[in-house]
Each structure stands twice: as structure tokens, then as C-alpha cells.
């Protein structure tokens, strides 16, 4: 998408998410998003009425005007009224995958550009097994930085 000082495109959740997902959802919110180098956007969302947490992967075309849903992934057992910031997502150019961390269950999930889960593991703090990852960031040189409630860890991706 082209960036300029003036807003180019503004999309609401109901504008981009297919009606089959948004139907009967009630209050909905976007928890996080990430953008790949190949014009894809993955959006983490929460639907209050259905107690649903998930992500949708979109192909974005026509300078951001058209969003087509490639895949929806529901995250089971992730609803918590107090945790609107989960799931957290980032794009790894090195791995060519989206990395998603879900705070309630403590899972790290890798999703490819086709929307397929290509890896999943439990991602808890090594010295305090009660803490799940709250946020993550990935650098171009292969560093994965993870924020927990009481600390930050850095991992080297191979």
C-alpha cells in the first residue's frame, strides 16, 4: 500500500471480514495485524458475542482497496474477557511465514502465505512456566524478541 501524509484507505472490521465470519458476531475488535512483503495482511480478531478468537489471512490488491480472504483460522479455548490484546502477530521475511502467539494457551503458531499452519509449539517462559508470551517482534536478521509479563527474551531463528 502506498503511504502518504493523507489517509489512503480506511477499512472497518466489517468491511474486510467475510459476512459468514462476521454474521451474528456482535461487538468485534481487531487484536493485531501483520503485513507481508507479498501484499498479504493477517488480522487477529475477537468476536464478543460468540466468544471467538481467530485470524484471517487476506490478499490485498488494487492499492489496498480490495481484500480477499484466503483463510480463517479459529483459535480454540482462547476467549478471556480481560485479554483483548491476544493473539499477537508478526511477519518473518526470513521464514516467509506469519508468527502468531496466543497468550491464553501459550502457543506459537507459524502460518504460511497459503494460510496453512506449518508449525506449532507451546511457548512459555523457560524459568516461569506460568507466563505465556504477551507480544513478539521479529527482525530481518533472524532475532525473535518475546515479551512476557516480567521479562523479555531474545531467540535466534535458524
In a domain, 60, yes or no: yes
> Rounded distance, CA 125 to CA 112, Å?
25
Omega before 11 within 30 of 0, i.e. cis: no
Q: What's the total number of domains in the chain?
A: 1
Q: What is the CATH number of the domain that holds 17?
A: 2.130.10.10
Q: Residue 102 sits in which domain range?
A: 13-156
Per-residue pLDDT of 139-156, as tens digits, reads: 888 888 888 788 888 888
In a domain, 42, yes or no: yes
In a domain, 7, yes or no: no
> Rounded distance, CA 132 to CA 135, Å?
9
> Rounded distance, CA 6 to CA 35, Å?
20
Per-residue pLDDT of 97-116, as tens digits, reads: 999 888 777 788 899 999 99
Q: Determine the pLDDT at residue 51.
A: 76
> Rounded distance, CA 141 to CA 92, Å?
10
In a domain, 54, yes or no: yes
> Rounded distance, CA 112 to CA 94, Å?
12
Ordered alpha helix ranges (H), the chain: 13-16, 19-22
| Range with the poorest average pLDDT among 24-28, 31-35, 49-53 | 24-28
In a domain, 51, yes or no: yes
In a domain, 90, yes or no: yes
Per-residue pLDDT of 48-93, as tens digits, reads: 767 778 899 999 998 888 889 999 988 876 666 565 567 889 999 8
In a domain, 95, yes or no: yes
Q: What is the CA radius of gyration of the chain?
A: 16
Amino acid at each position: 500500500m502506498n503511504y502518504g501524509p493523507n489517509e489512503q484507505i480506511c477499512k472497518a472490521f466489517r468491511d474486510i471480514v467475510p459476512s459468514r465470519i462476521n454474521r451474528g458476531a456482535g461487538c468485534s475488535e481487531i487484536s493485531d495485524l501483520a503485513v507481508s512483503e507479498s501484499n498479504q495482511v493477517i488480522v487477529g480478531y475477537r468476536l464478543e458475542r460468540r466468544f471467538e478468537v481467530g485470524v484471517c489471512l487476506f490478499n490485498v490488491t488494487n492499492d489496498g482497496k480490495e481484500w480477499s480472504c484466503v483463510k480463517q483460522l479459529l483459535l480454540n479455548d482462547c476467549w478471556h474477557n480481560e485479554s483483548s490484546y491476544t493473539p499477537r502477530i508478526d511477519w518473518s521475511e526470513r521464514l516467509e511465514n506469519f508468527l502468531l502467539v496466543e497468550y491464553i494457551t501459550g502457543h506459537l503458531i507459524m502460518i504460511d502465505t497459503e494460510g496453512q499452519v506449518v508449525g506449532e509449539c507451546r511457548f512459555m517462559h523457560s524459568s516461569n512456566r506460568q507466563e505465556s508470551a504477551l507480544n513478539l517482534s521479529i527482525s530481518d536478521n533472524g532475532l525473535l524478541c518475546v515479551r512476557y509479563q516480567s521479562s523479555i527474551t531474545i531467540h535466534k531463528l535458524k
